[in-house]
Each structure stands twice: as C-alpha cells, then as structure tokens.
C-alpha cells in the first residue's frame, strides 16, 4: 500500500509513519519547510514539502497514493484564525487536492478530536450518534474539518477518527503532568472530580491503520483505551507509580486559574505566541467530563486497545527520561 501521512513530523503522525513502515507499506510524509524532522531521520519515507494551507502545494503529495491519513492540525494558536486556517480550510484544501489529483484513492482517514464532540457528563460518555457541541475554537474548527471531509462521502471513501487525550513518547502535552509529579505535585481543579478518556499513541495508530485498510468503514468513530475513563487524580497517581515517586495533591481554585488564563490569552494575542493555558483551554479544563465510548469501532473494525494505563505511563516515563525531558 502507498500511504500519505500529513503532519508526519508531529507526535501522532510520526508514530503512524513508524507503524506503516513496520507493516511494509510505502510511506510519503507531507512536511512543511519549517518542520523538525528528527522523528523521521534515517527512515525509508519519501518527504514531500507542502502546506495544507496552500492548495497548490499538495499535488505531488496526494498523487498516486492508495490511502491518505490527514493527521495535520493546529493544536495551539493565539486566535481562532490560526485554528481555522489549518483545521478547517486546510482540510478543504486537502480534500480538493485529492478529488482533483487522486479521485481514485482507496481511503481518506481524517484525525479529528473528542473536542469536536464536546464535553460530557461523568455518567454518560459521548457516542457517534450524539449531536456535537464543541466549546472551544479548536473543537469547533476540528468539527468544521470533519464536515468538510464527510461532505465528500458520495465521491470518496472517507472516515473520521475522534481520539481523546493522546499520550506516549514524543508528546509534549501530558509531559507537563509528568514534570509536576516529578516535583512532588499532583493537581486537582476546584472541589469536584473531573473525568476524561485517554489513549496511548500506539493504540491510536492501530485504530488509524485499521480504518485505513478497512474498505467498509465509514462515518465517525470515537476511540479510547477501552476503559470507562479516569479522573485527573487517577492519571497522576499512575504517573507517580510509573515514575516510582510520591506526590502531594493540591487543589487549584478556579477563580485564580481563570485570571491566569485571561492574562495568558491577552499576552499570547499581543505577542502572537502560543501557550498551553488560555481561556479556550480553561473552558475545556473546567468541564466535569470528557468521556467517549469506543464500542462502535471495536464492534465494526475489530479495534482492541492493547496498552494498559500502567504499561503506557511506564513506557512514556522511561522515554521522557531517556530523551532528557524529565
């Protein structure tokens, strides 16, 4: 199989490239001129320079591919426009390039996010049949990207994968929690438990490959680690156990966090910088739950998560230490 991976130099994309190579597929990686290629070095992958924000740059990447994995997306941006350019309009460009230069492609897999579906109740994980209700610019633009991709369903074989929080080697998001735990600190927001689904990058990549190879898969699929979810403190407890350390729990009142997020948002917009804490992220963080139900992909595609939280956290901690991030 000839496979194209957009966002190939990033966290999820680079792991997907590794798995496709290991499975014996011919891999093309779409990279930007500014992309850091350290996860792709010395690997049998064809590099094509392009940018999903520029339609004319995508022809060489999409031509002659059997399966296209559209992983590229903006996770951080100082404003909504930055998310729109990549997540929404970038997806429009990708689909237009595919239908123009490779209309016979066997499959297009779009990597979206649980953020496109929106927050949930602790007792009710979201399912594919539920109406989406994104609450952040990131979530709204990922949903817009989904709608673009699925609008081609009468002309192309397309599928959308919605993962929750993804962790594992090469990830810098969950790294912040590992660093706090390393300092003996576990954080809990406010005075109520908050719940979330997670997935190790190895399991996410397995789901993506399954979706790419299965000709009958269609629509959207939520994917997770196969559990009912975890609390913030559960995750940090497992991180501490993986690091063989102890940490003390501190409750963070929401009002000071809101003020910090507001100031951080103003600073990011003024300096046109990107950061993990802003008002959009605050809205996501204070929700009671971000839970999803992966039974549909398990039943239809045979997806079976293989990485337990104990194994995943240990694997991630060891990699962080080896690379010098902890």
Does residue 66 form part of some domain?
Answer: yes
**Residue-wise pLDDT tens digits, 24-34:** 999 999 999 88
H or E element, residue 177: helix 175-182
CB atoms within 10 A of CB 66: 17
User: DSSP string spanning 16-31?
Assistant: HHHHHHHTT-EEEEEE
**Residue-wise pLDDT tens digits, 174-192:** 999 999 999 999 988 888 8
Question: pLDDT at position 283, please?
Answer: 81
User: SS3 of 129, please?
Assistant: coil
Q: How many domains, the chain?
A: 1
Name the more confident of 314 and 280: 314
Name the more confident of 171 and 263: 171
Question: pLDDT at position 271, please?
Answer: 66
User: DSSP string spanning 296-326?
Assistant: HHHHHH-------HHHHHHHHHHHHHHHT--
| pLDDT of 109 above 70 | yes
B/e letters for 92-129, b = 16+ CB within 10 Å, e = fewer, are bbbbebbeebbeebbbbbbbbbbbbbbbbeeeebbebe
Give the mean model confidence (pLDDT) for residues 226-247. 95
Does residue 270 form part of some domain?
Answer: no
Give me the CATH number covering residue 42. Answer: 3.40.50.720
Does residue 261 form part of some domain?
Answer: no
Name the more confident of 9 and 257: 9
What span, in angstroms and rounded, lies between the C-alpha atoms of 93 and 54? 7
> Across all residues in the chain, what is the average pLDDT?
93
Strand segments, DSSP code E, in 59-202 are 67-70, 107-111, 158-162, 165-167, 185-189, 195-196, 198-200
Show the tokens assigned to 292: 């999803």
Strand 230-231 to strand 195-196: parallel, antiparallel, or no bridges (unpaired)? antiparallel
Name the more confident of 51 and 218: 51
Give the mean model confidence (pLDDT) for residues 223-237. 95
Res. 258 pLDDT band, cuts 50 70 90: low
Does residue 246 form part of some domain?
Answer: no
What span, in angstroms and rounded, lies between the C-alpha atoms of 286 and 124? 17
Question: pLDDT at position 274, please?
Answer: 65
Burial (CB < 10 A; 0-12, 13-18, 19+), residue 258, is: middle
Question: pLDDT at position 43, please?
Answer: 96
Question: pLDDT at position 268, please?
Answer: 72
Show the tokens assigned to 189: 């927001």
Does residue 242 form part of some domain?
Answer: no
Lowest mean pLDDT across 8-17, 20-29, 87-96, 252-261: 252-261
Give the mean model confidence (pLDDT) for residues 196-211. 98
Does residue 37 form part of some domain?
Answer: yes
CB atoms within 10 A of CB 38: 9
Give the mean model confidence (pLDDT) for residues 217-236. 95
Does residue 267 form part of some domain?
Answer: no
Percent of the chain clearing pLDDT 90 (strictly above): 81
H or E element, residue 140: helix 137-150
Does residue 146 form part of some domain?
Answer: yes
Strand 230-231 to strand 165-167: parallel, antiparallel, or no bridges (unpaired)? unpaired
Give the mean model confidence (pLDDT) for residues 65-82. 91
**Residue-wise pLDDT tens digits, 129-188:** 999 999 999 999 999 999 999 999 999 999 999 999 999 999 998 999 999 999 999 988
Question: pLDDT at position 263, please?
Answer: 74
Q: Which domain does 150 fall in, by range?
A: 2-166+198-225+292-307
Asked if 165 and 199 count as a contact pair (C-beta separation under 8 A), the reply is yes
């Amino acid at each position: 199989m000839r496979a194209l991976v957009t966002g190939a130099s990033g966290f999820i994309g680079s792991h997907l490239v590794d798995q496709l190579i290991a499975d014996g597929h011919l891999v093309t990686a779409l990279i930007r001129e500014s992309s850091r290629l350290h996860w792709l070095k010395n690997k049998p992958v064809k590099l094509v320079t392009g940018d999903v924000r520029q339609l004319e740059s995508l022809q060489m990447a999409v031509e002659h591919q059997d399966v296209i994995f559209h992983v590229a997306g903006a996770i951080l941006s100082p404003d909504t426009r930055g998310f729109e350019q990549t997540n929404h309009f970038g997806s429009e460009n990708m689909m237009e390039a595919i239908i123009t230069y490779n209309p016979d492609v066997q499959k297009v897999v779009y990597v979206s996010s649980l953020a496109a579906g929106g927050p949930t109740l602790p007792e009710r994980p979201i399912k594919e049949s539920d109406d989406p209700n994104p609450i952040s610019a990131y979530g709204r633009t990922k949903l817009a990207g989904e709608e673009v991709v699925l609008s081609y369903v009468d002309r192309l074989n397309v599928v959308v994968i919605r993962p929750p929080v993804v962790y594992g080697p090469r990830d810098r998001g969950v790294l912040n929690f590992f660093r706090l735990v390393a300092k003996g600190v576990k954080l809990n927001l406010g005075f109520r438990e908050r719940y979330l689904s997670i997935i190790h990058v190895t399991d996410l990549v397995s789901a993506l490959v399954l979706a790419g190879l299965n000709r009958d898969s269609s629509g959207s699929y939520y994917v997770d680690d196969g559990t009912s979810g975890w609390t913030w403190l559960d995750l940090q407890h497992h991180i501490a156990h993986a690091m063989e350390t102890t940490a003390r729990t501190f409750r963070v009142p929401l009002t000071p966090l809101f003020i910090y997020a507001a100031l951080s948002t103003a600073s990011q917009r003024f300096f046109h910088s990107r950061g993990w804490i802003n008002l959009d992220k605050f809205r996501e963080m204070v929700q009671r739950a971000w839970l999803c139900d992966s039974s549909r992909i398990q039943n239809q595609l045979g997806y079976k998560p293989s990485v337990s939280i104990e194994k995943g956290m240990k694997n991630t901690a060891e990699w962080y230490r080896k690379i010098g991030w902890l």
